[in-house]
Amino acid sequence: MSNALRLTALDALHRSLGATMTDFAGWDMPLRYGSERDEHNAVRTKAGLFDLSHMGEITVHGPEAVKVLDYALVGNISTVGVGRARYTHICQEDGGILDDLIVYRLGETEYMVVANASNAQVVLDALTERAAGFDAEVRDDRDAYALIAVQGPESPGILAGLTDADLDGLKYYAGLPGTVAGVPALIARTGYTGEDGFELFVRPEHAVQLWEALTKAGEGVGLVPCGLSCRDTLRLEAGMPLYGHELTTALTPFDAGLGRVVKFEKEGDFVGRAALEAAAERAATKAPRKLVGLIAEGRRVPRAGFPVVAGGEVIGEVTSGAPSPTLGKPIAMAYVDAAFAAPGTSGVGVDIRGTHEPYEVVALPFYKRQK
């Protein structure tokens, strides 16, 4: 294993818990602690605790911070209120997706952009370049935060015992500063699991104290530490895209079925506008490949890159696939030709190492929690 791997503030704790570690975007991260299926099911039915400190935080602040973000990103950031968050994309001039992001508005003129670990440097560079000429500063805050997520139906109860913050008033995609287990934290009601839950941004030196307090608070209600393996199956069941799989620089948000994140109505120019207008028109006139769900009839698991086939022809490609603990069957997300994208389309299969295994085409997501 390379010595160059970056360690989170919780590294020693993961090792003491017996975690299997993995290299993820240059970080040594917990893949799983025990059975990834048990961890997955704990998040669906009780609660799970994740170290997500590899995520890349970038602060944009100053009088024209919002103008920077409206110019640099495809979303309408000026409509985000203080204490709220927005899912958005950052695109190249040609419309290709550089990354998907969550932007938190921390104050009147202060925003935190959270990028994927694998793209954090690219996003930082793009924001810095795009901020030129604006009265705002882009700051690399990757080392300023550890990120701990508690996800699952028991997570509000677990957190409520550790904070005075108004969690009932904290809606999905909102974030507020507060104190959790005695340490200052940005408490956000976001996640990547399809469950209710929170993401807690804290200073790295407070991470261990917070993790231990959450572990203790969750003892009686089935909270378990969870690795990135179950995070991937949780987001896949929830139909959430993963950069490098469903999202790449070769695709625009319209190609990915996420055209709704592009806000042409916002004021002023933004990077990629012209190319994205053309992409929107293309998508409306001649449907590109569509992102669909596939559910196996058999038990062999489709993996990213496997061809989707129908009538002996390749009609698409798997972008993510895994055995679904909730459905008890292999599932996949795949881009397929529009003619095969309707739920229930018959005769669709995945080429799994030379054998065409039958698959059912379904609408995403595979799993939606009962509210």
Partner 1 sequence: MSNPQQLRFTKEHEWVTAVDADGIATVGITEFAANALGDVVYAQLPAVGDTVTAGETCGELESTKSVSDLYAPVTGEVVEANQDVVDDPALVNTAPFEGGWLFKVKITAEPDDLLSADEYTAFSAG
Residues lying near partner 1 in the complex (CB under 8 A) are found at: 20, 31-32, 35-37, 229, 233, 299-301, 303, 322-323, 330, 353
- Which of residues 53 and 229 has its CB atom nearest to partner 1 in the complex? 229
Q: What is the C-alpha to C-alpha distance for residues 193 and 99, in angstroms, rounded to an integer?
A: 19
84-106 per-residue burial string, b: 16 or more CB within 10 A, e: under 16: bbbebbbbeeebbbbbbbbbbbb
Give yes or no for a contact between 34 and 225, defined as CB atoms under 8 angstroms apart: no
Q: Are β-strands 223-225 and 47-51 bridged in parallel, bridged antiparallel, or unpaired? A: parallel
- Which of residues 134 and 306 has its CB atom nearest to partner 1 in the complex? 306
- Which of residues 31 and 308 has its CB atom nearest to partner 1 in the complex? 31
Minimal distance, residue 1 CB to partner 1, in Å: 14
Minimal distance, residue 42 CB to partner 1, in Å: 14
Minimal distance, residue 192 CB to partner 1, in Å: 17
- Strand order in 85-91's β-sheet? 85-91, 97-107, 110-115, 56-61, 137-140
Q: What is the C-alpha to C-alpha distance for residues 173 and 119, in angstroms, rounded to an integer?
A: 22
Q: What is the C-alpha to C-alpha distance for residues 96 and 81, in angstroms, rounded to an integer?
A: 28
Q: What is the C-alpha to C-alpha distance for residues 114 and 104, in angstroms, rounded to an integer?
A: 8
Helix (H), strand (E) at residue 92: none
Minimal distance, residue 256 CB to partner 1, in Å: 24
Residue 282's φ and ψ, nearest 5 degrees, are: -60, -45
- Which of residues 21 and 58 has its CB atom nearest to partner 1 in the complex? 21
Minimal distance, residue 233 CB to partner 1, in Å: 6
Please, which residues have CB within 8 angstroms of residue 225's CB and are 6 or more apart in sequence? 14, 17, 19, 30, 33, 39, 48, 49, 50, 215
- Which of residues 277 and 351 has its CB atom nearest to partner 1 in the complex? 351
- Which of residues 62 and 330 has its CB atom nearest to partner 1 in the complex? 330
Minimal distance, residue 228 CB to partner 1, in Å: 10
